[in-house]
A and B are shown apart, each in its own frame.
Chain A
Amino acid sequence: MKALLISLLFIGLVASFLWPSADRGTVESEAVFRMNLTAEPPTLDWALATDNVSIRVIENLMEGLTAYDAALRPQPAIAARWTVSGDGRIYTFHLRPDVYWSDGKQVTAHDFEYAWKRLLNPATASEYAYFLYDVENAAAYNTGRIKDADLVGVKALHDLTLRVDLKKQAVYFPSVTTFTATFPQRKDLIERYGDRWTEPAHLVTLGAFRLEEWRHEYRLTLVANEHYYGDRPALDRVIFYVVSEETTALTLYETGYLDRVTLPPIAIPRYKTHPDYVRAPFLRGYYYGFNLDKAPFDKVKVRQAFSMAIDREEIPKILKGGEIPATSWIPQGMFAHNPEIGLAFNPEKARRFLAEAGYKNGAGLPPITLAFNTDPTNRMIAEHIQAQWKKNLGVTVLLDNMEWKVYLQQLREDTPQVFRLGWGADYPDPDNFMNLFTSTSGNNNTHWGNAEYDRFISDAASEGDPSKRLALYDAAQRILTETDVPIMPLFFAAQNLLISPEIEGLEVNAMDLIHLKKVKRKPSNKVQS
């Protein structure tokens, strides 16, 4: 009995030992902004970061040659201006002379040259190295076909001039340089600290904020960077809490611990009339793809029939998140978005097409399986589509769901007849969405290829005249969603947020980028912590 009591005491002691420290990282007089990240950032090394959580933090610590304005157009940032050669292949970026790293050192074109070569170095094993594949010899160096980094088309002509040679014209290149993977890096620090250079004690950045604290799996604290070349941010401190569970984040918002939160779908109806509620479009498309190598989807009439048999207007009623039904592929909020394109809901025509393909009322069809990765939203949509195909075409489709990574392997090795996927914009240009379905794209799982489509996309990428470019994308979208139909777009996602009324200047854009340098907290209000 005594022993039991002693051990109880011992466990109690361990439990009371090492309480979380009472340090809350905030001082009351400071202007603080607090929001959640949905996961621990996998890395703050912008050459390696590919996920939106890491990028969300990095974007507030760093800037690149160019940066987006509110309408997602690239504007000068570290590059004060740039010139383009007549053939569109040589970009010369002229850097601002007044940009400094947070340790006081000047930012030079050499930092860019080093960063880009590091990004492309196969030893870095960067997933986003291909962002610079438009640069001369970048792909060859990254894939080991050439070993000499100096052959890559990026060179610091002197401290403030960076010359970039592209392998062909790419009108969207100033959009590419807004992207985190292209931001400058410090050779001296990376060589000195190795993998640890992103820890708060070592990390040197140049944006409006700098990293003060990173308690892994829990909290990142950013403070205003005194060396920032632009205006000092209005916020003194930004706290990112790692809160993965959406409902927990919502509870923290309601109890005053967070200033901005994404609403879980289930809570959207309840908050629709809330004064803090904000809804905005989101550059993310959701589609079903057909595997053209598998019957019956080798027949275009079948694909068209399946696409026309879906009433997409029902989807927002099911998901309730303000989704935008879509028959075309370039999302709302992006250049060349055209809702007129695509196959509209038409059950009679769908039945006729199916009959013309030789499957009257679905007779003679092989068993059809619709595959998706396990997720409640995916299931709701799949069940809806399954019911629509049954009702409008008389076709019975089986559902098959798999865990995410298993699903991805399945797509790669033995693509199901019908499969679900989504795509979020890396940069707000239609090239990013339309390139996906070219015959050379690694992300095109449909086994569909169309030389005319490929040519339209390639021409549009280097077309400087907006009206011609628009015509090219319209034509390509018609091939994709009307005549060939390797995919059926279903909807574009929306963002559903709550933003505290104490916060001013938080722009909500279609890429869900969060730039905090212009954000203000109204004074006099106390932060609960």
Chain B
Amino acid sequence: MTPPSHLGSIGQLLIEAGRLSRQQVEAALQRQSGTVDTSLIGEILVQEGAISQWELLDFLFRQLTREREEYRNNPTFTPAIRFVDVEKVLDGRRVLKGVSLAIPKGKITAIIGVSGGGKSVTLKHMIGLMRPDRGEVWVGDRVLSGLSRKELVAVRSRFSMLFQGSALFDSLNVFDNVAFPLREMTRLPEADIRSRVEKALCQVNLDGMGDKFPDDLSGGMMKRTALARAMVTLPEIILLDEPTAGLDPIIENSIHHLICDTYMRSRYTMVVITHAVPEIFNWCHHAVVLHEGAILEAGPSLEVLHSKHPVIQQLINGALTGPIKVI
């Protein structure tokens, strides 16, 4: 029997997996004053000592691994975003050459490939920052290229994006950066904005850091702030453009755990562009390999990981010799 929803998705997972009993979770929640936010149950359980932070992250990672294996055995999905024969020419170069792909709804998709292969351009097409020269980009049942600006804004409200350089506003502190989309695009009272921002900062382990400015933050903290800003609007789809670029391996691992944690909490559709290969194959359900503006392979990440395609093998192994000439 599925545990009740007031225990939150993480509470439910922990009980179902037998890691904690329902009594343990409920006891931890009862010790909280006021209404309990179900998306913060993981933090509450850690705070109450029911489980350690590390155990929780490891548990979520193992859950994701199980889900990825299930997806490999049954790779059926509803597409959240579809590309149909998309072509794009930039500065006289064909960056996308008839790309057709589907992004599974409610799953983590990684788009990998060598630099200049068209990954960021693909991501910008998904959110309408670029329009295809030919072909169509579908988000749900809407074709982006046919939308007016107002309709595009409505479609974009379903998205959030974490930019490669975080794209935080230098003149605003962490709190105001995260609050920015809520203040600008909603009519929520300031008290509600404050509680949502504090919750988002708590989810990315930045509670108490709201008054810092972007200049005072490390690379990892900037990414976490950007992720909090992406989550605070409660989007359906989160696009992440190289979330671990320029970070050391430990911070990279923590960002991957954070992405997993965010996914497990809210089951967003997530699209990650990354060069963190082969690590990313541990963190995504679906993988798309883009090379020279064309799709080489797309499917469950565990299938793509074992692809025999020489370009993909070279990409995964990081070999200097192979079809991709680097020297």
A and B: interacting chains: no
